[in-house]
């Protein structure tokens, strides 16, 4: 049996876990990242190969990643600025967001999961204070007064003064810390795929609230390409996934009113179940949660990964400014982190979950009111800009 010691152990080497590891290493802490899978960059992609899963990285998240040396590693030719967002209700409601009006270069940057992961892996590997334990299955956590002991499936033990759960919505670490709370399903599935487009998108994204309660978004990719995220009722998602690529392209084009002309599938469609997660707490004894392990939001605002990067930035900031409190797992520090993230996360959850519920109500007067509300907000510039700010920073 081998034994290792570190200051912080991060369970989960997804995008948020890796960003936290890179940020904490710069505070002088010894960090270990554990993941059940491989922690490696995917092979370099050619121009015809695009990852179906993409993220809308906000300007605030881009600044955080830039400070870690991650943003600079991303290939610019595989990123697209989202400069304009057109949002349509299910009965003539409309909202228009423009980066120029908001004083930003872009409302968000559309980045492939594969490229973002590769840049984060490279940044973490370059940090001397981070140990990456890949293909490593933790079996249990024993919580002691002054440290936590992670027992691994191979018999090794990792002792850390703070454990961070960054292992997703179905977090194993969260259960080990005694935070038992299951996500609430939306009964929707996000169907994602990429397409060649006939007409140039000019940096525009489109989003439609559909009559069946679903939400469809088209996000710009480099060149004449776009990425689909269709949050569809489960039965419809099953139907979409069963379509041949040409039939899927025709179905997506028709659902979007042929806004970009004829579509051609360039990646197979894949799917992710959607759920809402609101926890009573994101901290426990020598434990903190970040990313999807800490909260779950509907993807209609594209803010899931940005909330996670916000968690990583906040936790790293708290630990960097710990001053005379040498122990990174001290309750005063964890409570400070929880307070710092409470309002931003709750605000985004209220907006996204509220919109899903609002547009999922078929009552005629509710339908008329929600679309009328969109028209009013669209006409009041200051209100529209206020609504956009949380998604930017």
Pair 280, 270 in one domain:
no
d(CA 84, CA 94): 13
Pair 201, 349 in one domain:
no
Q: What is the domain count for the chain?
A: 2
Q: Which long-range contacts (CB under 8 A, 24 or more apart) does 100-104 make?
A: 101/381, 101/385, 102/385, 102/388, 102/389, 102/392, 104/59, 104/392
48 domain-assigned = no
d(CA 146, CA 24): 20
Pair 209, 315 in one domain:
no
d(CA 107, CA 384): 13
* Distances from the Cα of 121 to the Cα of 42, 70, 132, 249, angstroms: 10, 9, 10, 34
The overall average pLDDT reported for the chain is 94
Pair 365, 350 in one domain:
no
Q: What mean pLDDT do residues 93-108 have? A: 93
More confident residue, 24 or 3: 24
Q: What mean pLDDT do residues 168-195 have? A: 95
Pair 270, 290 in one domain:
no
Q: State the burial class of residue 2 (Cβ atoms within 10 Å of its Cβ: 0-12, 13-18, 19+).
A: exposed
Query: CB of 336 within 8 A of CB of 325?
Result: no
Q: What is the pTM of this model?
A: 0.94
Which pLDDT belongs to residue 10?
A: 98
244 domain-assigned = yes
26 domain-assigned = yes
382 domain-assigned = yes
Q: Among 36-50, 59-73, 160-174, whose mean pLDDT is lowest?
A: 36-50
Which pLDDT belongs to residue 243?
A: 98
Q: What percent of the chain has pLDDT over 90?
A: 81
Q: Among 63-72, 151-160, 171-180, 382-391, whose mean pLDDT is lowest?
A: 382-391
- Exposed e or buried b for every residue in 127-161, given b needs 16+ CB within 10 A? bebbbbbeebebeebeeeeebbbbebeeeeebbbb
62 domain-assigned = yes
Pair 344, 198 in one domain:
no
Backbone dihedral angles phi then psi of residue 274, each to the nearest 5 degrees: -110, 140
349 domain-assigned = yes
Pair 191, 268 in one domain:
yes
Query: CB of 181 within 8 A of CB of 305?
Result: no
Pair 95, 209 in one domain:
yes
Pair 347, 314 in one domain:
yes
- Residue 175: pLDDT band with limits 50, 70, 90: very high
Q: What mean pLDDT do residues 236-249 have? A: 98
Pair 32, 122 in one domain:
yes
**Three-class secondary structure of residue 331 per DSSP:** helix
Domain with residue 102: its CATH number is 3.30.9.10
* Continuous segment of H or E residues that includes residue 375: helix 364-379
Pair 122, 226 in one domain:
no
Domain that holds residue 152: 3-42+118-183+275-357
Q: What mean pLDDT do residues 32-42 have? A: 89
47 domain-assigned = no
| Residue 43 pLDDT exceeds 80 | no
Which pLDDT belongs to residue 160?
A: 97
Domain with residue 349: its CATH number is 3.50.50.60
Query: CB of 154 within 8 A of CB of 34?
Result: no
- Residue 44: pLDDT band with limits 50, 70, 90: confident
Q: How many CB atoms lie within 10 A of CB 256?
A: 20
49 domain-assigned = no
d(CA 243, CA 227): 17
- Exposed e or buried b for every residue in 315-353, given b needs 16+ CB within 10 A? bbbbbeebeeeeebbbeebbebbbebbeebbeebbebbb
Which pLDDT belongs to residue 62?
A: 97
| Residue 285 pLDDT exceeds 90 | yes
- Residue 279: pLDDT band with limits 50, 70, 90: very high
- Residue 1: pLDDT band with limits 50, 70, 90: very low
Pair 166, 300 in one domain:
yes
């Amino acid at each position: 049996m081998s034994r290792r010691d570190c200051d912080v152990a991060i369970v989960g080497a997804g995008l948020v876990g890796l960003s936290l590891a890179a940020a904490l290493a710069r505070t002088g802490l010894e960090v270990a990242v554990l993941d059940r899978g491989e922690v490696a960059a995917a092979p370099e992609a050619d121009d015809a190969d695009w990852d179906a899963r993409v993220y809308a990285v906000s300007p605030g998240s881009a600044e955080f990643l830039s400070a870690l040396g991650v943003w600079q590693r991303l290939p610019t030719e595989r990123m697209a600025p989202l400069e304009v967002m057109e949002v349509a209700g299910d009965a003539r409601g409309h909202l228009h967001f423009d980066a120029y009006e908001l004083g930003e270069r872009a409302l968000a940057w559309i980045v492939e999961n594969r490229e973002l992961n590769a840049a984060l892996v490279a940044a973490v590997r370059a940090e001397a204070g981070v140990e990456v334990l890949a293909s490593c299955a933790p079996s249990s956590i024993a919580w002691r007064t002054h440290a936590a002991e992670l027992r691994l499936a191979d018999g090794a033990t990792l002792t850390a003064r703070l454990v961070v759960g960054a292992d997703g919505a179905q977090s194993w670490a969260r259960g080990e810390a005694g935070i038992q709370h299951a996500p609430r399903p939306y009964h929707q599935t996000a169907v994602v795929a990429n397409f060649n487009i006939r007409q140039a998108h000019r940096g525009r994204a489109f989003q439609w609230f559909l009559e069946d309660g679903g939400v469809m978004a088209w996000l710009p990719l480099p060149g004449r390409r776009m990425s689909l995220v269709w949050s569809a009722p489960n039965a419809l998602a099953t139907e979409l996934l069963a379509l041949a690529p040409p039939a899927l392209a025709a179905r997506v084009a028709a659902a979007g009113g042929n806004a970009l002309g004829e579509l051609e599938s360039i990646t197979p469609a894949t799917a992710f179940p959607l759920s809402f997660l609101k926890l009573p707490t994101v901290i426990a004894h020598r434990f903190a949660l970040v990313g999807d392990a800490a909260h779950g939001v509907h993807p209609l605002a594209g803010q899931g990964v940005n909330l996670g990067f916000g968690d990583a930035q906040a936790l790293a900031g708290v630990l960097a400014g710990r001053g005379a409190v040498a122990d990174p797992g001290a309750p005063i520090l964890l409570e400070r982190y929880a307070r710092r993230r409470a309002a931003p996360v709750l605000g985004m959850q209220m907006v996204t979950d509220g919109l899903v519920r609002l547009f999922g109500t078929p009552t005629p007067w509710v339908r008329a009111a929600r679309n009328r509300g969109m028209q009013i907000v669209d006409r009041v510039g200051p209100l529209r800009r206020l609504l956009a700010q949380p998604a930017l920073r």
